[in-house]
Amino acid sequence: MSFFLHILALALAGVTILSFYRLVAGPTAFDRLIGLGIIGTKIVVLLVLVGAITHRTEMLVDLALTYALISFIGTLVLAKFFETQAADFDGEQDEAEEAA
């Protein structure tokens, strides 16, 4: 069972690295935000797997839950920030079209 957990942890680490590409090369800010959310989710699962491998699940599950809450709140804050930036940009663009 431990061998399976090690393979699963390596696979999740690989998927996390692939998701990092979406975070860096996303064409829009929302694509980058989705990449950040995927990475956060994979890290939570990876923490639980590492806890199962090392037999320290009680400590690492608490860390995983804390990280999940912080990641979720951070994603909401960034989404709200990007939404207000887009609204400000649209307002400036409308004013420029009216002036022309």
Please tell me the chain's helix, strand, coil percentages from 3-state DSSP, rounded to the nearest 5.
95, 0, 5
With a cut of 90, say whether residue 1 has pLDDT above it: no
What is the structure's pLDDT at 98?
60
Give the pLDDT confidence of 31-50 residue by residue, as tens digits: 888 888 899 999 999 999 99
Separation between Cα atoms, residue 16 and residue 39, nearest integer Å: 6
Range of the domain at 71: 2-99
What is the structure's pLDDT at 32?
86
With a cut of 70, say whether residue 75 has pLDDT above it: yes
CATH number for the domain harbouring residue 78: 1.10.287
The pTM is what? 0.76
The domain tally of the chain equals 1
What is the structure's pLDDT at 66?
94
Q: Yes or no: say if 53 and 6 are a contact pair by the CB < 8 Å rule.
A: yes
Give the pLDDT confidence of 76-99 residue by residue, as tens digits: 898 888 888 877 776 666 555 565
